[in-house]
Structure formats: C-alpha cells, structure tokens
Structure 1
C-alpha cells in the first residue's frame, strides 16, 4: 500500500474517483512551499518551491501499489511525474508533480492563488 495525495480528477466528485474511492483516507493539505498549475484545465500539477508560503488542498488515499502502477500512473499526462511531497502534518506521501522541465516551458497556467483544484474549477463554472 502507498499513501498518495490526489488534488485533481481523482478526488471525490471527479471522474477518476470511482477507481480509488475505497482507498480514501480524507481531506488534507500540503505543507507550505508548493505552487499549483493547471495542465490545460484538465488536471493540476504541484511544483515544490520553498520560496512560497502556500499550501494546496487535496485528499489522501492509501492505494495498492499494483493499482497505482497498472491503473493510476498509465492515465497520468506526460507533464506530470510521481514524486514525494510533505503534508501539513509533517508526514510524507506520494503525489503527481510537474515533470522536470515543465515549469521552464512556461505553458501551464499558475493557479496557486486558488489553493486547490475545486476552487479553480469554480472560476471556470465547473465542478469536475
């Protein structure tokens, strides 16, 4: 089993939530130090940045490693990669981060100011 922070389409109400619903632990936030980006308004990506004092909302799940390998990761866009983040309680877990080089491309809209995917989607008139 692996603890993973989801902050986009796999959260409750999102289209990919049914594949992980039974693994939900509950809502959490990251520790401060993360920027947040929209990948074409389809999914979000975190980017660690110790120069910022922002935390991002999401949900913590405890997923089977085979499910992570066979179902979750193959569905992630190339702009994201699996990494380790810190949660507000100081513990570590997996999460999808902007892939190396993606920030430098400058093509993803920064949405850090919204603090989470749901708040950002609300500005687009969407819930998922």
Structure 2
C-alpha cells in the first residue's frame, strides 16, 4: 500500500492528470499509479462548476472514477493547503476493497450544488458540459 515516506492518495477532480491543480501533485514529486474506481458508496457534486466534491453515503451511492497517486508524505500538507475550501482527506474505499487516503468534501460544501453522481466522475461530467 504505502510506506513511511509515501502515501497512496485517491483524487477525483482537478488534481487529476492534465487538470487545473495537477501541478500541485507534480510539484511535490507525486507519481501517477493508476486509474481506479471507488465502491458504489459515494455521491459527487459539481461545486460551482469549478471542481467536484465527493462524500460517502450509507445508501444510494455510486462508483466514482478516481486516480491513485503515490505522494511523498512530506508533500501531502503542501497539496492539501492548496485545495479549495471544504475539501479534506479521509479514507476512500476502492472497488477492489482497498482503502487509501482520498480527497473528500464536507457535506455542507455540496449542499445546494448540482449532483453529478449519474456521470460517475468529474471527467465524464465535464465532457458533457464542455
């Protein structure tokens, strides 16, 4: 999974390859591991069409597309302080049952925002509106 000098981090939005905040990962020496999906236990929202917000639910969740990155432990804080307000790190369960750290949203951040769960991820949603 990870060792004391690196952490696996699942990202579901603008930190992904080629997107707006991906340089925040690259600048701390993070490396792309793989594309993956979560278990069907999350809801995802478009936050003012700038970035997504995802959180876990007890029922009615979907599987969300994520990227798993290997992040130097020393760089994790640098990435987090540059994330939009209302996003945080928690445990994310992947489709294969593995739990890794991942970017999640506070529920209040998603309140009143457009739910995009039916798209299964940020890239698919953005492709539908661009």
Shorter-chain TM-score category? 0.7 to 0.9
How many residues get paired?
A: 122
Question: Is the aligned partner of 1:2 residue 2:7?
Answer: yes
SS at match of 2:118: helix
Which residue does the alignment assign to 2:123? 118
Return the alpha-carbon distance in structure 1 between the equivalents of residues 13 and 108 of structure 2. Answer: 21
Structure 2 unpaired stretches of 5+: 1-5
Partner residue of 1:17? 22
Measured on the aligned residues, the alpha-carbon RMSD in Å equals 1.5
Deviation string for 1:22-53 (max 9, x for gaps)?
A: 51001000011110011111111111012024
Secondary structure in structure 2 of the residue aligned to 1:20: helix
Instruction: Name the counterpart of 1:84.
Output: 91
How many Å apart are 1:89 and its aligned residue? 0.7
The structural deviation recorded for 1:11 is 1.0
Give the Cα–Cα distance (whole angstroms) in 2 for the partners of residues 33 and 69 of structure 1.
26
Counterpart Cα distance in 1 of 2:24 and 2:55 = 25
SS in 2 for 1:61: strand
Change (3 A) 1:75 1:19: closer
Q: TM-score, normalised by structure 1?
A: 0.86
Give the deviation of 1:101 after TM superposition. 3.4
Residue 95 of structure 1 is aligned with which of 97, 102, 115? 102
Check 1:5–1:51 CA distance in 2 against 1; reply closer, same or farther (3 A cut): same
TM-score (norm 2): 0.85
